[in-house]
Amino acid sequence: MKNPLLFSGLAAIIALHGTAVSAAKPDTDKEKFSYAIGFQIGQGFKRDNLEIDTKTMSQAINDVLNDKTPQLSAPEMRAAMEAAQQKLLAARAAVGEKAKAAGEAYLAANKKKKDVVTRDSGLQYKVISAGKGKQPTAESSITAHYKGTLIDGREFDSSYSRNQPATFNVNQVIPGWKEVLPLMHEGDKWQVFIPSELAYGERGSGNAIGPNETLIFEIELLKVN
């Protein structure tokens, strides 16, 4: 059974060598490579919130590399993997439910603000400054500056911080952007509030955007290309 969440940090695990953890800085090419592989695996474990007994994991690696008899049978290992996967899925579902409820409450309160426009889809926007340029269509390419945050204010992306506006096609972005961009004119700067179902939904996006997160974007439409 393939478990993408569980295996995301395990892709290169068999490349690890050594029996003990050392506090010394890696020096040789072999040590540096081993550390780099281990670091990537650790990042995967942390990203997926996996609870790992590193001592036991190290023993399993050494058993494989030294051709020792496995301490668990194949069915036992498969059952352990599946149990961990189910635990991960349940935890992710709980996080998603909490985020969805928080997002709905935020949007309900935001809807009452006088400068906020709420569309039938649930998407909301507020005009910060108005431009008079042309409007994009679903087939347009546009150039824009933007900043994205969660409802608690945590920033997950910003073209401003990179000092480089982004250029992309309107039909290649999340549904919330597809809906709002054709409403804007060149020169407009809007704050846009996107319900989770018009953003990344249950799947989320990477480490920064969890399942069912409501997103807030500041969008400055610079040019319709």
Write out the catalytic residue numbers.
146, 156-157, 174, 200, 217
Helix (H) or strand (E) holding 31: helix 29-47
Beta strands in 1-121 (DSSP E): 117-118
Question: Contact at 8 Å (CB) between 105 and 189?
Answer: no
Q: How far apart are CA 8 and CA 131, in angstroms?
A: 45
Map residue 127 onto helix, strand or coil.
strand
Helix (H) or strand (E) holding 45: helix 29-47
Q: How far apart are CA 108 and CA 110, in angstroms?
A: 6
Q: Which two tokens stand for residue 74?
A: 């194949």
